[in-house]
Amino acid sequence: MTDTEPKDIGLAIVGCGTVGRIRAMLAKDYPGVKWLGLCDINEEVGQKLAEDSGADFFTGDFSTLLKRPEVTAAIIATDENFHVEPTLLAVEQGHDLFIEKPLATDAEESARILSAIESSDIDAVVGYTQRFRRRFIAVKEKVSTGQIGDVTAVVTRALMNRMAPMASIRRTNDRRHLTPMVVSGTHSLDICMWLMEGKTPVSVYARSSDKLLGKHGTKDATFGIFTMDDGTIWSMNISWALPVAWPGAVYGLEIGIIGTRGVIDIEDTHRDVVMASEIPQGAAVQPGGLRTRLSAPRRVHDQLPARRHVQWGALGPHARGDELVAREAAHGQEDPPRDRRRRPPQPDAYDGDGPVG
Ligand SMILES: NC(=O)c1ccc[n+]([C@@H]2O[C@H](COP(=O)([O-])OP(=O)(O)OC[C@H]3O[C@@H](n4cnc5c(N)ncnc54)[C@H](O)[C@@H]3O)[C@@H](O)[C@H]2O)c1
């Protein structure tokens, strides 16, 4: 067989939660995957996915799975703090790898994984899903072919609803490294470093705040200034403590890339999705996760004072609460069904909504 011929894949997925499920259901429909094995320490979650995806094998022990003779490739989709051991074992077994971000939550462990991968001949990627989105591929092409000249400065702003960190930290008491940069900012960091390929940071100055989430063992926001080896400056920040009224847990991302001959301004903020600017009384954030997340928009709406400014779907940016209520009354219902809150089909509808975590 030559290198260009497709290989039959025996796929092991370690971690059958939200993301492991997405990967397994895709793998089920991909003809190159001839064998699918799953592992989760939560037997109920894992068995349910095994059933839904028609997996060939399920175990609660990642070592048993990764040592199966059918396995040629592995996806590591465990919680952020539990990537290291299964990843190192997969490398040792010579399996090609897809590791969900971050590589590890501790810098030394990340370095250990990187070194193990580099000294093997496996093909390994980290799940930086932004790189596969059409808008970023288009920007990459423009920057790398010099269409805006030499890049001299980049500015990145990432905003996230605080439900994302609450979901991450509820899974563990070891929260030392579950910071906005490590867990979620890593997506923005990666996409910007990818767009600036060839430039290496030589210094970073960063500050964080923790007024809200400090009591839960994490931080609210981190702002940093990077200087690259060619003098390019890059200002990057992430805030993941936004009120629950901020729409969804997806990133609101903006990137400005300034070149000597042109500028690229990327708006990836999902402003056409529900937006509300204030946290309503009583919409408490608990480390409860999904239920809080799903019910938050309803609570925001239920308690919306008549004159609070909101943006919602087809209503303009200055629609008022009473207009919202009138619009709903015209549809004969109190609260719109979820699918009416989704943005209408867009030319780039297949571009995806970006990462959720
Ligand atoms: N690319 C993206 O856009 C994106 C989006 C969300 C999450 N993620 C990343 O994907 C990973 C998984 O996130 P999630 O939201 O699916 O989490 P999740 O909590 O829904 O799922 C994690 C699963 O791993 C299992 N698990 C934990 N330790 C294990 C072990 N030692 N062996 C076997 N199973 C184990 C848990 O029981 C759980 O079912 C995280 O690293 C997260 O940061 C990536």
pLDDT digits (tens), the chain, 357 positions: 556 676 799 999 999 999 999 999 999 999 999 999 999 999 999 999 999 999 999 999 999 999 999 999 999 999 999 999 999 999 999 999 999 999 999 999 999 999 999 999 999 999 999 999 999 999 999 999 999 999 999 999 999 988 888 888 888 888 888 999 999 999 999 999 999 999 999 999 999 999 999 999 999 999 999 999 999 999 999 999 998 877 765 788 999 999 999 999 999 987 665 444 444 555 444 443 322 233 334 333 333 333 333 333 333 333 333 333 333 333 333 333 334 344 443 333 333 445 545
| Beta carbon of 80 within 6 Å of any ligand 1 atom | yes
Tell me, using a 6 A CB cutoff, whether residue 77 lines ligand 1. Answer: yes
Q: Is 115 in the pocket of ligand 1 (CB under 6 A)?
A: no
Q: Is the CB of 171 under 6 A from ligand 1?
A: yes
pLDDT value, residue 307 = 30
Q: Give me 180's structure tokens.
A: 């906005």
Residue-level pLDDT at 113: 97
Q: In what order do the strands lie in the sheet with 221-228?
A: 201-209, 221-228, 233-242, 151-161, 252-259, 263-268
Structure tokens at 236: 């990057």
CATH 3.40.50.720 boundaries in the chain: 9-127
Which atom belonging to ligand 1 lies closest to the Cα atom of 128?
1
Residue nearest ligand 1's atom 28 by CA: 78
329 phi and psi angles, rounded to 5 deg: -60, -40
List the residue whose alpha carbon is closest to atom 41 of ligand 1: 80
Residue with tokens 């808008």: 135
Ligand 1 atom, smallest distance to 129 CA: 1
Nearest to 100 by CA among 114, 82, 116, 115: 82
For the chain, what percentages of helix, strand and coil (3-state, to nearest 5) are there? 35, 25, 40
Q: Would the CB of 355 count as within 6 Å of ligand 1? A: yes
Cα(226) to centroid of ligand 1, in Å? 30
pLDDT for position 212:
94
CB of 170 within 6 A of ligand 1: the answer is: no
What residues does 205 pair with on adjacent strands?
225
Indicate the CATH number for domain 131-272: 3.30.360.10
Q: How confident is the model at residue 279, as a pLDDT?
A: 47
Q: pLDDT value at position 284?
A: 47
For residue 140, the model assigns a pLDDT of 97
pLDDT of residue 168: 82
| Cβ(131) – ligand 1 distance below 6 Å | no
* Half-sphere exposure at residue 202, Cβ-oriented, CA atoms within 13 angstroms: 9
| Residue 181: how many other CB atoms lie within 10 Å | 22
Structure tokens at 167: 């979901």
34 pocket-lining for ligand 1 (C-beta < 6 Å): no
17 lines ligand 1 (CB under 6 A): yes
Tell me if the bond preceding 243 is cis, omega within 30° of 0: no
**Is the omega angle on the peptide bond into residue 305 within 30 degrees of 0, that is, cis?**
no
Shortest-distance Cα residue to atom 6 of ligand 1:
357
User: What is the CATH architecture assignment of 9-127?
Assistant: 3-Layer(aba) Sandwich (3.40)
pLDDT computed for residue 357 by the predictor: 58
Whole-angstrom Cα distance, residue 83 to residue 74? 12
Q: Is 11 in the pocket of ligand 1 (CB under 6 A)?
A: no
Of 24, 22, 19, 17, the C-alpha closest to 9 is 24
Task: Count Cβ atoms below 10 Å from residue 255 Cβ, excluding itself.
Answer: 21
Q: Is 42 in the pocket of ligand 1 (CB under 6 A)?
A: yes
Bridge pairing between strands 310-311 and 151-161: unpaired
pLDDT value of residue 3: 62
Rounded-to-integer distance, Cα 40 and Cα 38, Å: 7
| Residue 306 · residue 320 · CB < 8 Å | yes
* 357 CB within 6 A, ligand 1: yes
Q: Where along the chain do the CATH 3.30.360.10 domains lie?
A: 131-272
CA of 79 to the centre of ligand 1 (A): 4
Distance CA 108, CA 113 (A): 9
Exposure on the CB side of residue 248, measured as CA atoms within 13 A: 19
Q: Kindly report the number of other CB atoms within 10 A of residue 45's CB atom.
A: 17
Residue of 16, 100, 174 best suited for mutating to test ligand 1, as the one with most atoms within 8 Å of CB:
100
